[in-house]
Amino acid sequence: MAALRDIKRKITAVQKTKQITRAMNMVAASKLKSAQMRMENFRPYAIRFMDVLKSLALRVDPKTHPLLAVREARKIRLICMTSDRGLCGAFNSNILKLTERFIRDKKADGLDVSLIPVGRKGRDYFRRKITAVNAHADVFGRFDMSLAVRIGEDVIPSFISEEYDELYLIYSEFNNVAIQRPVAVRLLPIPSVGLEEEVEPDKRLEYIYEPSEEALLDQLLPMYIRVLIYRALVETAAGENAARMMAMDNATNNCDEMIDNLTLRFNKTRQAAITKELMDIVGGAEALKG
């Protein structure tokens, strides 16, 4: 009889877990929606910003700028973006795996690697493994452009002062709700390839520049880095919630499956117990007749 009660208890426990995972699924879904909206809303800004930068890059040769200076790489810096919270499937472990491999490869090439973790999971993971320059944890609950500005302050002045030679960013690209792909991109020195693309003819008008072209470029290029960082932040936020939504959806389904199995076992055990009791009674009656 004890077994019966145990199974019942287990069913109740799984049902409670299911309630939690379902709630988390729904919370993640609504957060994903707002994160996706953020991505959508950021697009016009990014597009117009690139237009401005490109039209300026046409006028001024940007190759002379310190943020484009290619130096022989000896020290590199890495921004690794993870989420603050877990329970989102393989989202963080995918990023951490890529980061780990990336660091290993670079170290094998004899390079010195320093790290800026963004997001608590990454900071905790690398805490004892590698020295972090500056960590930004617990940031994804509420963030805006000023976070990208702060991260920019960690990397831009120190690149110009040649504290390190190359800057990489590892984050999760948000392809769609089901797919988030961890990618590593080089931020500094700024690859000039993107700036040389064709610009619409009407953008090539003669402009008045205030202040001078050079001074503007001086401000626009750091902003370009911030725009890229911000985009990565927004995509990480969306990816995290998408991954959690999927993970919790799976968990809810697994709970259903478990409840089904347990219920089946419960009924079987119950039936077995009844049968056994009946056998006992019948057996007893037979014996009395004897």
Q: Which residues bind other proteins (CB under 8 A)?
A: 38, 41-42, 44-45, 48-49, 51-52, 55-56, 144-146, 149, 202, 205-211, 215-216, 219-220, 227, 230
Would you call 87 helix, strand, or coil by DSSP? Answer: coil
Q: Identify whether 88 is a catalytic site residue.
A: yes
In the complex, least distance from residue 215 CB atom to other proteins, rounded to whole angstroms? 8
Nearer to other proteins, 91 or 174 (CB): 174
Q: Terminal CA-to-CA distance of the chain, rounded, Å?
A: 29
Nearer to other proteins, 38 or 121 (CB): 38
In the complex, least distance from residue 157 CB atom to other proteins, rounded to whole angstroms? 13
Nearer to other proteins, 120 or 226 (CB): 226
Q: Which residues contact 269 (CB under 8 A, 6 or more apart)?
A: 3, 4, 7
| Residue 65, token pair as written in the block | 């700028």
Would you call 133 helix, strand, or coil by DSSP? Answer: coil
Would you call 143 helix, strand, or coil by DSSP? Answer: coil
Read off φ and ψ for residue 191, nearest 5 degrees: -65, 125
Read off φ and ψ for residue 81, nearest 5 degrees: -105, 120
Q: Check 67, 78, 88, 221 and give the catalytic one.
A: 88
Bridge partners of 132, per DSSP, are 115
In the complex, least distance from residue 99 CB atom to other proteins, rounded to whole angstroms? 26
Nearer to other proteins, 163 or 207 (CB): 207
In the complex, least distance from residue 162 CB atom to other proteins, rounded to whole angstroms? 21
In angstroms, the CA 174 to CA 86 distance is 18
| Residue 41, token pair as written in the block | 């809303």
Q: Which residue has the tokens 């205030």?
A: 210
Give the single-character DSSP code of 201: G
Nearer to other proteins, 186 or 204 (CB): 204
In the complex, least distance from residue 152 CB atom to other proteins, rounded to whole angstroms? 11
Q: Chain centroid to CA 171: how far?
A: 6
Q: How many CB atoms lie within 10 A of CB 140?
A: 23
Which residues belong to the active site?
Answer: 88
